[in-house]
Structure 1
Amino acid sequence: MPKTDYLNDPDAPRANALVVAVAVVVLDESGRVLLIRRSDNGYWALPGGAQDLGESTAQAAIREVSEETGIDVEIVGISGIYSNPRHVIAYDDGEVRQEFSICLRARPVGGSLRTSDESSQVDWVDPAELAERRIHPTMLLRIKHGLEAQEPYIG
């Protein structure tokens, strides 16, 4: 379902949902980050999505990366928790979510790159090339925090 992100926009629709979501910073041995080009809005992003009932946050992260990229991962840490009430995501079905995303760090353990219904492209991206990609500011923040070796971000 197509989506539109609003950040600090006074004309943004009012949130009517809060959903636990995961995003995953996967770094390969060269320090490149795994990104997808989203099929719904064309932006480059970390793989991720909503956590399903009956699964842990780590299980959701592993599943989402595999589904969207073809890469199998092992979770190695937490990068941050993102819950900015001024960031809402509006879907074409009328749902407007307040941001709530847990961003984890992972390393690849198998699989091979492939696209999915949610990803029109999948690529390992050198951090120096991030500026060349169309990335929403909230996603770029997650990527930058994931590349930094520090305490998890909470905001």
Structure 2
Amino acid sequence: MPETPKHSVSVAGVVVDDNGRVLVIKRRDNGHWEPPGGVLELSESFEAGVRREIAEETGISVEVERLTGVYKNMTRGVVALVFRCRPLSLRPSATDEAVTVRWVNPSEVVGLMDPAYAIRIDDALGESAAATRTHDGVQLMQA
């Protein structure tokens, strides 16, 4: 009998302010720009995990609005649920997990992020139903 696959579940938030800017972090561990997020704890709901991760990585509180996509890193077995969020405060700060936190215009995202992360913001800014996508950690994979 084959072994049951092991997956990690993560959550991330695409935080959009009233001017249409998006909150992004430069991760302290790998130097990559991404939407704030991380591993969902066993006892957490998806929404509670998103709020916690955003607060830990940016210092701001958010209201979770809706699920905008589900993404699987095929190389690492990580499934990420991404939610669009509204900020309850606008003054982010660097944290133990993020060396830089800043608001950017959506047009800046493609130049900052790997495609596997930039698409999450694009999906969250759209009005379509939640997207499902796979990637190798950097590049998107064909369905």
The answer to whether the superposition gives a TM-score over 0.5 is yes
Q: TM-score, normalised by structure 2?
A: 0.84
Alignment correspondent of 1:69? 58
Q: Which runs of 5+ in 1 are unaligned?
A: 1-15, 89-96
Amino acid at match of 1:137: P
Taking every aligned residue pair, what percent have the same amino acid on both sides? 38
Distance 2:90 2:43 in 1: 25
Measure the CA separation in 2 of the matches of 1:150 and 1:82: 16
SS state of the match for residue 118, structure 2?
helix
| Equivalences, count | 129
Tell me: higher relative CO, structure 1 or 2? Use CA pairs within 8 A at least 6 residues apart: 1
Which 5+ residue runs of structure 2 have no aligned equivalent? 134-143
Shift, 1:148, TM fit:
1.2
Partner Cα distance (2:111, 2:73) in 1:
26
| Length-normalised TM-score, structure 1 | 0.78
1:16-65 per-residue CA deviation (whole Å, 9 max, x = no partner) reads 84111001111000000000001111111000000112110100000000
Give the corresponding residue for 2:104.
Answer: 125
Within-5 A mapping of 1:103-142: 103-110=82-89, 112-133=91-112, 135-142=113-120
Runs of 4+ in 1 over 4 A off after TM superposition: none
Q: Which moved more, 1:107-116 or 1:63-72?
A: 107-116
Q: Which residue of 126, 129, 138 maps to 1:148?
A: 126
- Whether 1:25 and 2:3 are equivalent positions in the alignment is no
Structure with the higher fraction of residues in strand conformation: 1
Q: For the aligned residues, what is the CA RMSD?
A: 1.5
